A = this chain, B = another copy of it.
Amino acid sequence: MAIRLAENNYGKSRVRLLRVTRQPDHHEIKEVTLSIRFEGDFEAAHTAGDNSKILPTDTMKNTVYALAKQYPAEPVEEFALHLAEHFLTYNPQVARVQIDVLEHPWQRIPMNGQPHRSAFLRGSNERRTASVSSARGTVAVRAGIEDLAVLKTTDSAFVGFRRDPYTTLKEASERILSTTIHATWLYLGAEIAYGPAWHNVRKMLLETFAQHESLSLQHTLYAMGEAVLNSFDEISEIHISLPNKHYLLVDLKPFGMDNLHEVFLPTDEPHGLIEATLKKS
């Protein structure tokens, strides 16, 4: 019996960056957290402690700052592409570079109804993501959304489901539907306007969630994915993951009251989890 090193990678996580672009009449900022991973020929480091092919993860971090000086970090997909190309150029021992970016959104403080030129507030918990996986000759660019919490108070039902001896759930023809949207999609080709594309996909996901006559969270997930694939030629697949954040109707009968879908208990656990990938074929 021999032992072999199968998949392996290494990198740097949680590299944080604020990039300020100072225009004469206003400043622009971009705050991101990056992680970088290398796959390649690292066997000797593992088996013999030979580090000669190991670029330090400290250098990966330095490179983020050095390239942030030279490029505007906007849009994040382009910045990730620059990073991946740099690493592949300088490191022949590396077969694949993966760059993951989380963007933390800032928006301008309103000042007498106008956006302030240099002061900002943190917009939301929601984060834009970008992910570049670059091997020599092939590049895959994904964009995404994390932690976009949504809720609708009507147009959601769950009936006609399968029952077994431990099923106690009642059918609901009207219920609160709430989830946190996690989605990533894969771009086709290289000539993408990443900024507008991201905003348009986000708009389509939100509007579909809002308008859909939902028969289940699976049903709504599929509608959201289908709407995106039907609307964007430059997107070939989309993965969506939706926790079902249950809002429980509180039983007010012990207090002599009817609860006409007015008083709910929000819960975090347990929660349902629905995941699917839709592809063009």
The residue in chain B whose Cβ has the minimal distance to the Cβ of A70 is B257
Find out whether the CB atom of A153 lies under 8 angstroms from the CB atom of B109: no
Q: How far is the CA of A209 from the CA of B110 in the complex (A)?
A: 11
Q: Which of A74-82, A135-143, A190-198, A216-224 contacts B (4 or more CB under 8 A)?
A: A216-224
Q: How far, in Å, is A246 (CB) from chain B's closest CB? A: 9
Query: How extensive is the interface on chain A, given as a class?
Result: 35 or more
Find out whether the CB atom of B69 lies under 8 angstroms from the CB atom of A230: no
Asked if A159 CB lies within 8 Å of chain B CBs, one says yes
Find out whether the CB atom of A161 lies under 8 angstroms from the CB atom of B51: yes
Contacts A45-B219, A216-B54 known; A277 to B6 CB distance under 8 Å?
yes
Find out whether the CB atom of A17 lies under 8 angstroms from the CB atom of B265: yes
Which residue from B8, B52, B168, B215 sits with its C-beta under 8 Å from A254? B168
This chain: copies in complex: 4
Collect the chain B residues with CB atoms within 8 Å of residue A2's CB.
280-281
- Give a binary string over A157-196; 1 marks a CB under 8 Å from any B CB, 0 the rest: 0111111111111000000100000000000000000000
Which residue from B6, B47, B111, B269 sits with its C-beta under 8 Å from A237? B6
Asked if A119 CB lies within 8 Å of chain B CBs, one says yes
A sample of 16 inter-chain contacts (CB < 8 A) reads A6-B277, A8-B276, A12-B271, A16-B270, A20-B176, A27-B154, A46-B222, A55-B163, A56-B167, A57-B273, A59-B164, A69-B262, A106-B151, A116-B210, A118-B152, A119-B209
Q: How far is the CA of A279 from the CA of B8 in the complex (A)?
A: 12
Asked if A88 CB lies within 8 Å of chain B CBs, one says no
Find out whether the CB atom of B160 lies under 8 angstroms from the CB atom of A210: no
Collect the chain B residues with CB atoms within 8 Å of residue A54's CB.
161-162, 216, 218
